[in-house]
Amino acid sequence: MTIATALTNRPLFEGVRVVTARMAPPALRMPKAERCREHLHRLSQWDDFLLAESGLPGPRANLELAQTVADLGDPALFRRYLSLKPAQAPANSAQVFLVICGVIGYERLLADGQTSALGTLRTCAGDSRWRVREGVALALQRVGAKDMRTLLRYMRDWSHGTLLEQRAVAAALAEPRLLRDAKVAKAVLGVLRQITRGIVALRDRTGPDFLTLRQTLGYAWSVAVAALPVEGKRQIERWITTSDKDVIWIMKENLTKKRLTQLGPEWVARCQRKLATRSSDARRRR
């Protein structure tokens, strides 16, 4: 899950505007993260700058800036930002960007041995603001970038938690750069299998938390399968024999992803035909 904000024709740092890299001053030809880092080092107080450069309200938050804040901030800053409640920092406001920065920064506390930070992240996984929940996934991915064994240990525990905690697991693990090791990819397939089995056993599927989890599983499987195609395709082939309508939907969504088509369009087409048959059978039984 890589999200970035566009630089072109967007106000940058104190009214500077980038039109093209060739026209930009030398300082602005540096990678964006480095520019963010240099600018933050020059400021004694970050709040106004972060609010101005948050990208919010809008479709995309400035996540590169949020990651830089997580790198440079201190625990007091992260705790202050995380203390902003929904009334103070609504879901699509500039103020919620501060909360996102705080959530991602909590990975630093966890890395420093403050184990209570994991509980805080788990609580934030159930936050009513979807952008805060995305921040949790990004924080967990930072854990995985340093130590995937540790992240997998945490995620196996969370995979037995609430629907939104399970959603955080799927979102965090569905990151290609974390799945380059075959053993890790196989472990992630196992975690996704555990969560998907939980859906089959779930009776109440009417709430928004379930739909949020289902939507995330609708792409997460494809990421893990692409990382370990032989085992992943085998698991997909097992799941497409299901009569569960929500698992059918999840597998259908994954089979539309380009990353799976690249593994073999004929295999994808064959799976889609089988799913269409299962879906038709499921409708007749209702």
**What local confidence, expressed as pLDDT, does residue 283 receive?**
64
Give me the DSSP letters along 119-175: HHHHHHTT-S-HHHHHHHHHHHHHHHHH-HHHHHHHHHHHTTS-HHHHHHHHHHH--
Q: What is the predicted pLDDT for the residue at 281?
A: 63
Q: Please state the domain extents for the chain.
A: 1-146, 165-286
Better-predicted residue by pLDDT, 23 or 250: 250
Residue 262 Cα to chain centre, angstroms? 23
CA pair distance 220, 79, nearest whole angstrom = 30
Is there a contact between 33 and 64 (Cβ–Cβ < 8 Å)? yes
Give the model's pLDDT for residue 68: 96
Q: What is the pLDDT of residues 149-197, one digit of tens each?
A: 999 999 999 999 999 999 999 999 999 999 999 999 999 999 999 999 9
State the amino acid at position 245 in one-letter form: K
- Quick: pLDDT tens for 23-80: 445 554 556 778 889 999 999 999 999 999 999 999 999 999 999 999 999 999 999 9
Provide the Cα torsion 108, 167, 64, 150; round to 10°. 30
Q: Is 9 helix (H, G, I), strand (E, B) or coil?
A: coil
